[in-house]
Amino acid sequence: MKQCLIFFTFFLSALASAASVQEQMAQNPAVKAAIEELVIANHILYDQNAVDGYGHISVRNPSNPNTFFLARSIAPSVVTVDDIMEFDMDGKALHGDTRVAYGERYIHSGILKNRPDLNSVIHGHAPPILPYGLTGTTLKPVYHMSSFLGEGAPIFEIRNVAKPNPDTDMFISSVDLGNALSQSLGLQYFVLMRGHGYAAGADSIRKAVFRAVYAIQNASIQGEAMKMGQVQYLTPGEAAIAQETIEKTIGRPWQLWSERVKKP
Ligand SMILES: [Zn+2]
């Protein structure tokens, strides 16, 4: 009986990976909901200045933990359901989809492969984030909204891992670089990329969007506070307690942000 069940589960996941993104949406309400939310998240991230013409967000396939959905190479603000592609955990496009993919899809495959607790990853180049990576200043939680930053965001240094030449185009353009970025992230939810941008992760699309938006706000506030004097950061204890409280309420900003990007 158990063997039958294992075979049936294997059969179902094989069936899921054989079906195109459109077929999976038609067959599986969870996949349809995830992809529709991914499209809204793309628009919100642009509206909230977390991405611009560049930047992207992914979601793990709810019916297959070994694949994820991500738009083809296109500006986030114009992404539609038809632009969504499916990838494996090496960043390879599935279903023979030959459309041009984001060159930095390895950010998503690297983090989603190494962090089974995360289901959504965001990458962007928001200007308020950049000075921290440039100067080696730790981005730390200055208020409850960004308490998920914990004891401070790690900084990924591509020069330390790029082979054979430490000089690169700064892009996370390979499986190895995606893995190295994921190692820098460690068990945290936000990583800075020196001279480039950030990556944020969460167990849901909504929480990943929340974290990207508030990490960027934290960067602006922390920068202003540092000009004024000694900054009082949240203690690790405050951060842990505040994170538990605030992340129960993320539906509220999501409602506000999604209303703003609704098409007439
Ligand atoms: Zn980038």
Residue 65 lies in a domain: yes
CATH of the domain at 124: 3.40.225.10
At 106 the three-state DSSP class reads: helix
CA distance 58 to 184: 19
Distances (CA, A) of 36 to 69, 121, 159, 188: 11, 16, 37, 27
At 225 the three-state DSSP class reads: helix
Q: How far is the CA of 9 from the centre of ligand 1 (A)?
A: 37
Q: How far is the CA of 44 from the centre of ligand 1 (A)?
A: 18
Q: Which amino acid is at 223?
A: G
CA distance 185 to 149: 11
CA distance 4 to 211: 42
Residues 185/192, Cβ–Cβ less than 8 Å: no
CA distance 264 to 23: 28
Residue 172 lies in a domain: yes
Residue 8 lies in a domain: no
The per-residue pLDDT string of the chain (264 residues; one tens digit each, 9 = 90 and over) reads 555 555 555 554 555 557 999 999 999 999 999 999 999 999 999 999 999 999 999 999 999 999 999 999 999 999 999 999 999 999 999 999 999 999 999 999 999 999 999 999 999 999 999 999 999 999 999 999 999 999 999 999 999 999 999 999 999 999 999 999 999 999 999 999 999 999 999 999 999 999 999 999 999 999 999 999 999 999 999 999 999 999 999 999 999 999 999 977
Q: How far is the CA of 230 from the centre of ligand 1 (A)?
A: 32
Instruction: Give the domain extent around 100.
Output: 20-260
Q: Nearest 5°: phi and psi at 16?
A: -60, -45
Residue 7 lies in a domain: no
Active site residues: 104
Residue 10 lies in a domain: no
Residue 239 DSSP code? H
| Residue 103 buriedness (CB in 10 A; 0-12 / 13-18 / 19+) | middle
Per-residue model confidence (pLDDT) at position 18: 77
Q: Hey, which residues does 190 pair with through a beta bridge?
A: 200
Total of domains in the chain: 1
Q: Nearest 5°: phi and psi at 160?
A: -75, -15
Distances (CA, A) of 250 to 26, 27, 121, 241, 255: 29, 29, 17, 16, 9
Q: How far is the CA of 247 from the centre of ligand 1 (A)?
A: 27
CA distance 77 to 33: 19
Q: How far is the CA of 194 from the centre of ligand 1 (A)?
A: 11
How many beta carbons lie within 10 A of that of residue 177, not counting itself?
A: 21
Q: How far is the CA of 138 from the centre of ligand 1 (A)?
A: 20
Residues 225/231, Cβ–Cβ less than 8 Å: yes
Per-residue model confidence (pLDDT) at position 264: 74
Residue 12 lies in a domain: no
Per-residue model confidence (pLDDT) at position 3: 58
Per-residue model confidence (pLDDT) at position 127: 98
Q: Which one, of 221, 199, 211, lies nearest residue 250 by Cα?
A: 211
CA distance 26 to 72: 20
